[in-house]
Amino acid sequence: MSERFGTLPDGTPVHRWTLERAGVRVRVLSYGGIVQSAEVPDRDGRCADVVLGFAGLDGYLAHPEPYLGALVGRYANRIAGGRFTLDGRTYPLARNNGPNCLHGGERGFDKRVWDVTPVEHGVRLSRVSPDGEEGFPGRLEVSATYTLDATGALRIAYEAVTDAPTVVSLTNHSYFRLDGPGTAGGHRLRLAASRYTPVDADLIPTGALEDVTGTRFDFRRARPVRAGYDHNFALDKGVTDTPVEVAELFAPASGRVLTVATTEPGLQLYTADHLGEPFGPGAGVALETQRFPDSPNRPEFPSAVLRPGELFRSTTVYGFGTR
């Protein structure tokens, strides 16, 4: 089901699509590929919205930086110095995070209106990112297909092709609060990650992969997730052809459980320490599946390079349950 959601200042209409299956209702916007809401039942069958979002388009336009629920690209996370070198050529990028490029630049995929086509149990969003958009090389044809499976899990399948060598990393930037309105305080997190990428003062990876043993980054056994995280975890499974479960977020108060399965090698844990009004710090937990931050400048990290004739594929599945 689709409906008019609003109009951008330039007159472009924005639509909202509602997906519903197995007791789960998810709403997706053509603007930014945003997951506006995800209503799921608790252990007593009472439904609540478990992602942060705004009721109207004006909220997203007035507060773009949190990337609430957005489809992020052309490159998710940070690229150091707002530049990278590929095949001997250096590409300067938009710098929108101090000296760095963050989440695709000043006007990344999260601020674009996508073409939307209905598919079975979902919608397919697509657009063409022209050569040079935000500094990235190559004409990129990209799509993201959002579907609900028979259990009510939200599957996001990304695909892209290019006509010139480029770099690609796509993710969804939803903030989860499994108890509904309030904060994510008390949530317990488990991650299948024995290593993480430490960062410098600008949150750029140093290049090291450090063992989580004995540190606050060890979530291999579920424990409360508190403030102070904006870090990439190197998932033990690495890159896979099919999604593998790598994370579980549990809210003891409501009994809701979120599982995350992905084909990607990394997961950025962000505890929303700097989230502003109307939500405030700690209002949600972001679990962003991705290539590692600054991979275009780090040949030792899993590659984010896409070349002509290749097909970029990435899938992440957000499962909802209770216990």
Q: Could you say which of 134, 248, 264, 288 is catalytic?
A: 288
Contacts of 201-206 with CB under 8 Å at 24 or more apart are 202/78, 202/80, 202/98, 202/99, 202/100, 203/78, 203/230, 203/293, 204/78, 204/80, 204/100, 204/293, 204/294, 205/232, 205/292, 205/293, 205/294, 205/298, 205/301
| Residue 77, marked binder | yes
Asked whether residue 158 is marked as a ligand-binding residue, the answer is no
| Active-site hit among 103, 173, 187, 231 | 173
Evaluate whether 227 touches 184 at the Cβ level (below 8 Å): no
Q: For this structure, is 121 an active site residue?
A: no
Q: Which residues contact 300 (CB under 8 A, 6 or more apart)?
A: 207
Is 169 annotated as contributing to ligand binding? no
Report whether 173 belongs to an annotated binding site: yes
Rounded Cα gap, residues 275 and 262, in angstroms: 26
User: Residue 123 is encoded by which pair of tokens?
Assistant: 């919608």
304 and 168 in contact (C-beta within 8 Å)? yes
Q: Is 175 annotated as a binding-site member?
A: yes
| Nearest partner of 141 among 153, 133, 152, 151, judged by Cα | 133
In the annotation, is 133 catalytic?
no
172 annotated as ligand-binding: no
| Annotated binding-site ranges | 77-78, 173-175, 230
Active site residues: 173, 288
| Annotated binding-site ranges for beta-D-galactose | 77-78, 173-175, 230
